[in-house]
Amino acid sequence: MPGWGSLHGLRGDPNVYILKGGSYRVVKDLSMDEKPQVFDLHPRSRGGEHYGTTGFGFFIIFQNQGEMRWVANLRTAKGERIVILHPKYTKGLYYFGIGDLLTLTSGGSVLLVQ
């Protein structure tokens, strides 16, 4: 995964998750890096092109593999669930969570996944 990416936590979790390479750090405020917790990503949570959260967990989009993984924990991959993406949604520009829904957009189409 190139560069840094950030995720806001799960429902009720005020943390921000910052991903880089094979690890992620958890901070409360992006304006400072005070007392961060740093964890290794589980091997099954590495290598995604897009990462995000919904109210139920983290999602990881593997566009080249045509799949999405849901995990409850990025460090342990606990609760992993794999969803095969329709080819139309492997070329999405934006993937984001809104409440409990995952939204995938591609070429003017929108798919909501619950």
Establish if 96 belongs to a structural domain: no
Total number of domains constituting the chain = 1
Q: Domain for residue 60, yes or no?
A: yes
- CA atoms of 47 and 3, how far apart (whole Å): 12
- Give the domain range for residue 14: 4-87
DSSP state of 36: -
Q: Which of 44, 73, 36 minimizes the C-alpha distance to 56?
A: 73
103 is a domain residue? no
- The confidence band for 106, taking pLDDT boundaries of 50, 70 and 90, is low
Q: What percent of the chain has pLDDT over 70?
A: 71
Cα angle 10, 71, 3 (rounded to 5 degrees) comes to 80
- Kindly report the pTM of this predicted structure: 0.76
Range scoring the smallest mean pLDDT among 1-5, 37-41, 77-81: 1-5
